[in-house]
Amino acid sequence: MALRYDAGEVITAMVTPFNEKREIDYSKAEELTKYLIAHGSDAILVGGTTGEGPTLTHEEDLELLSTVRRASENKVKVIMNAGSNCTATAIRTAKLAEKEDVDALLSVVPYYNKPNQKGMIEHFSAMAESTHLPIILYNIPGRTGVNMKPETVAELANKYENIVAIKQSYPDMDAVTEMKLLCPSDFSVYSGDDSLTLPMLALGARGVVSVASHIFGSEIKSMIRNYKTGEFLAALNMHKKLYPSFRKFFMAPNPIPVKAVLAHKGIMEEYVRRPLVELTEEEKADLFKTIDSFYDL
């Protein structure tokens, strides 16, 4: 079946590397992009929550996007975060992304304002009508305070050809089923939580927008491939093996733990921007014990 837009099965929500002054380390961003491509990522999301997007300036967003685009050498899709609780700001970001020749946009349900379903429809309709770029909706009630209903997703997906997918970060499997029933068959659903990837694949999800793929990209890709080729037991065994790490990556606000593991692996520094803070030594010891034990199982 042809999809409206195919970003692949493993979209990595890339962290933003900072130096000790908490300025963006663009050379590390370039290295990390190449590392992710070599380890299972089909697409890279720039400036999302995992990328500490709320702390980046527009200038940093664009420079980071340009860096990742250049480093990717067109081997993977590059997606830019264009979410805002202000519709005008989201549209302005989308237009900036167009100039940077980005492949697609990720746009979160407006946060803090807590719009109702009609407000969400008007927000995303305005976005869809303002850009030719593919738009991936992002539903994460834990951060936005509101939940986008399957009926709302379906109304947008049926009306706008460039609303192509949703990142669903909400553990409601009935909602996923309802989306698959109500939305066009060429509209994609992605898990927004690593630990829900396998259950959502069983309901027809395309793949995952992942944090854990920074470390376990090839393993997550293998799990998805095994499931889709009928190797269900192999997929389940990999899910069970990865599950403790999936949970540990959220022992503290994202992306603090995954940055600590990337530093532990010698890939980049662990620095995060305030108001986030790095893990304590005790927390890191607990985290690394779980992550390292994956290879002993």
Rounded to 5 degrees, what are φ and ψ at 38?
-75, -10
**Active site (catalytic) residues:** 138, 167
Collapsing DSSP states into helix, strand and coil, what is residue 188? Answer: strand
Could you give the 3-state DSSP secondary structure of residue 255? coil
- Amino acid 153 reads V
Contact criterion met (CB below 8 Å) for 33 and 213: no
- Among 250, 251, 270, 248, which residue's Cα sits nearest to residue 259? 270
Q: 3-state DSSP call for residue 13?
A: strand
Comparing C-alpha atoms, which of 161, 137, 160 is closest to residue 150?
137
CA dihedral sign of residues 132, 56, 213, 76: positive
Integer Cα distance of 170 and 139 in angstroms: 7
Would you state the structure tokens that stand for residue 17, as one six-digit string? 């590397």
